Amino acid sequence: MLNFEYYNPTRIVFGEDTVKRLDELVPQDARILILYGGNSAIKHGTLDEVMNALGQRVTVAYGGVQANPEYEHLLGALEKIKEHEINFILAVGGGSVIDGAKFLAAAAKFADEDKWKILEGSQITAALPFATVLTLPATGSEMNSGSVISYRSRGLKRSFSSPLVFPKFSILDPSKAVTLPERQTVNGIVDAFVHIVEQYATKQTGAAVTDEFAESLLRIIIRVAPTLIAEPENVQARGDFMWAATNALNGLLRLGEVGDWSVHGIGHQLTALYQIDHARTLAVVLPGVWQYKLEAKQAKLAQMARNVYGLQGDDERELALAAINKTEEFFQQLGVGTRLADYDLGKDDVKALVQNLEKIGATSLGEDKDIDLNASREILLSRL
């Protein structure tokens, strides 16, 4: 097992009927920006519930955060923060809204007028406190310190992280997820699954606890996925998935392991250029990365075949290939296309995607930093 450091001060409040706890969790004198996404938070009453719980506190709502939160749209929220002397941000939604809140928390205290620098690696030294009410389990953003922001007019999608942007608390009420459209449920399943394997399916480092935790979460996600789709109102299944998705990316699964994250690195370009749902980009890229890195990942993929898919056998390579096939099948059974052609993309698009990787300097991806532009091209061409 490799040396590691772990720190995660986010308080989790999990369960049905927990939104009302906002009243004790948010400071009485908070001046709150409530950040949310589309109309579902209004339609299903979550926003009302939040407002009721916050009582007499000053609140300013800012909606319209879309999947892949957009830099220029968030700058509008930053204006509100200044105008209303906001000192607390509450994200009500899924990973996109929460990632947006993290950016705003940092940007509000960032001296430079060019806030995009935060996404270009400038260190932040302060942030507004913020918290979340999670309605869409998927990204783990509710319990980590990372954020991904898109700059659509420039075709960019970049991330930043800082211990200063851990949520103070996150309310996880699984009953809030029962109204999710199937497409978002499915995206959440794929997203959480890939978060796990980006950390797990790399080298054998012998981190027993982390490996077994990862395998546990993969088994649970595979097990509850059909229920989430067949019985969207099953709160038990929503809860199991919600907590699994949080643990998939709260730091626990990277401990003592080497992360890959090339699937995200390449997938982000599919979203940046073609606005494909984040999760679906992962489903397209993942089998290609695993095939390309078969030799390096063989031991761990064979372990996954045994411990996650329950397969047996002596041939490590066969088992590793079976894990890749099983995983692609899992995505397909969820109705998620795993080929570029499923999204009407072809060879020319691969060229554009690789150019984008070059533009952002993504020339050494993966756990061995050996996925250069040629390798990314090969991976993408294998997914036509």
CB of 178 to its own copies, least distance (A): 15
On whether the CB atoms of residues 60 and 32 are closer than 8 A, the answer is yes
Other beta carbons less than 10 A from residue 117's beta carbon: 15
On whether the CB atoms of residues 64 and 73 are closer than 8 A, the answer is yes
CB of 337 to its own copies, least distance (A): 29
Q: Is 11 in the site for its own copies (CB under 8 A)?
A: yes
Binders in 234-263 for its own copies, by CB under 8 A? 236, 239-240, 243-244, 247, 255-256
Residues in the chain: 384
* Dihedral-angle region of residue 127 (phi above 0 means left; psi in -120 to 50 means alpha; beta otherwise): beta
Q: Max alpha carbon distance in the chain (Å)?
A: 65
Binders in 17-76 for its own copies, by CB under 8 A? 18
Query: Smallest Cα–Cα separation from 57: which of 105, 90, 18, 16?
Result: 90
CB nearer to its own copies: pick between 8 and 39: 8
Q: Reduced to 3 states, what is the DSSP secondary structure of residue 376?
A: helix
Q: Draw the binding track, 181-220, toward its own copies (x: CB under 8 A; -: no contact).
A: -------------------------xxxx--xx-xxx-xx
Query: Smallest Cα–Cα separation from 131: which of 12, 14, 8, 42?
Result: 12
Q: Given the rule CB under 8 A, which of 12-20, 29-37, 96-104, 327-335 is the region that contacts its own copies?
A: 12-20
CB of 17 to its own copies, least distance (A): 8
Tell me how far apart the alpha carbons of residues 359 and 347 are, in angstroms, rounded to a whole number: 19
| Continuous segment of H or E residues that includes residue 374 | helix 373-381
Q: Which one of residues 8, 39, 52, 123 is an interface residue with its own copies (CB under 8 A)?
A: 8
On whether the CB atoms of residues 69 and 141 are closer than 8 A, the answer is no
Q: Given the rule CB under 8 A, which of 5-13, 71-79, 195-203, 376-384 is the region that contacts its own copies?
A: 5-13
Q: Which one of residues 32, 224, 249, 380 is an interface residue with its own copies (CB under 8 A)?
A: 224
CB nearer to its own copies: pick between 217 and 323: 217
CB nearer to its own copies: pick between 154 and 223: 223
Q: Given the rule CB under 8 A, which of 7-15, 88-96, 132-140, 279-287 is the region that contacts its own copies?
A: 7-15
CB of 25 to its own copies, least distance (A): 10
CB nearer to its own copies: pick between 10 and 271: 10
* Dihedral-angle region of residue 344 (phi above 0 means left; psi in -120 to 50 means alpha; beta otherwise): left
Angle at 186 between CA 180 and CA 189, to 5 degrees: 110
Enumerate the β-bridge partners of residue 99: none
Which residues contact its own copies by CB under 8 A? 1-16, 18, 206-209, 212-213, 215-217, 219-220, 223-224, 236, 239-240, 243-244, 247, 255-256
